[in-house]
Structure 1
Amino acid sequence: MAKNIHHTGAGPSQRQLRVGELIRRTLSDVLNRGDIHDPDLNRMSITVGEVRVSPDLKIATAYVLPLGGQGREEALPLLRRNKGELRRAISKQMALKYAPDLRFVLDETFDRMDETRRLLSQENVRRDVEQRRDDEEE
């Protein structure tokens, strides 16, 4: 008899991670192939960096960014406008009991990385980091 195991950790379960990655790949493929019947959306090259899925797998939040960051303002409304068709395309390609509701947010990972690089390149920050390393080695 199989045990019913519930995920109790603070982070996402293995199942959430697996389903999120499958949705990410499927959504990326659908967008890259231009399978959606919206010429405005098909003109854009959109990167899907990550998809986070709720514990019940009913909500999938896709972190997206237009290639090169151009067209951020129009990307989210276009994706939201085509949410139903994107959801059907994902459902058709994946064997899930329910097609999750799709939510779209801008992926700001690259912006945060640029800001971190900028901070680390400042002379006073570099000096503090070097000093800390020296202190740890002693």
Structure 2
Amino acid sequence: MPSRDFKRTDRVGAELRRELGLLVHAAVRDHGLPSVSVSDVEVTRDLDWASVWVTALLPEQSKEAVKALNELAGEFRRSLSRSMRLRRVPELRFKYDDSVDKGERIESLLRQQARDLGVDQADGAAKDDGED
């Protein structure tokens, strides 16, 4: 039997990410929450739970946003049950995705290191002192 490239949990996760992206965007606007967006959804194999990873525009407001989204999880789940064709919509757990923050931190450290070493960022070459 040929193996499928995409598992059902992957397909459900992708669909949940699309739907939840719209729902979270509306909740941010309607409830005055800090600006967040859905970055990924991981669904358990039995489709009972879904971890919804969100990123915040302002990382210092991430805890407040995640707390509010977890309080609204029941409403999101009801909306999903109406819009998706699933026998049972998974329970939602919102978590903060700090990978963007870590990436920005690494990039700033690399820029600082390059500046300290005198590397021109435009072409990646060391600055020429004119000594030959």
Structure 2 length as normaliser, TM-score?
A: 0.72
Q: CA RMSD in A?
A: 3.0
The Cα shift of 1:23 comes to: 0.5
- Following the alignment from structure 1 to structure 2, what is the Cα–Cα distance between the partners of residues 77 and 6? 39
Aligned identity (percent) is 30
Match of 2:104 among 107, 111, 114: 114
The number of residues matched between the two structures is 117
Deviant stretches of 4+, over 3 Å: 123-127
Please, which runs of 5 or more residues in structure 1 have no aligned partner?
Answer: 131-138
User: By percentage of residues, which structure has more helix?
Assistant: 1
CA contact (8 A) 1:48 1:62 kept: yes
Pairing 1:1-138 to 2, within 5 Å after superposition: 13-34=6-27, 42-44=31-33, 45-69=35-59, 71-121=61-111, 122-123=113-114
Please, which runs of 5 or more residues in structure 2 have no aligned partner?
Answer: 125-132
Structure 1 length as normaliser, TM-score?
A: 0.69
- Which of these two proteins has the greater Rg computed from alpha carbons? 2
Letter paired with 1:80: N
The Cα shift of 1:76 comes to: 1.4
Report SS of the residue matched to 1:96.
coil
- Following the alignment from structure 2 to structure 1, what is the Cα–Cα distance between the partners of residues 74 and 44? 19
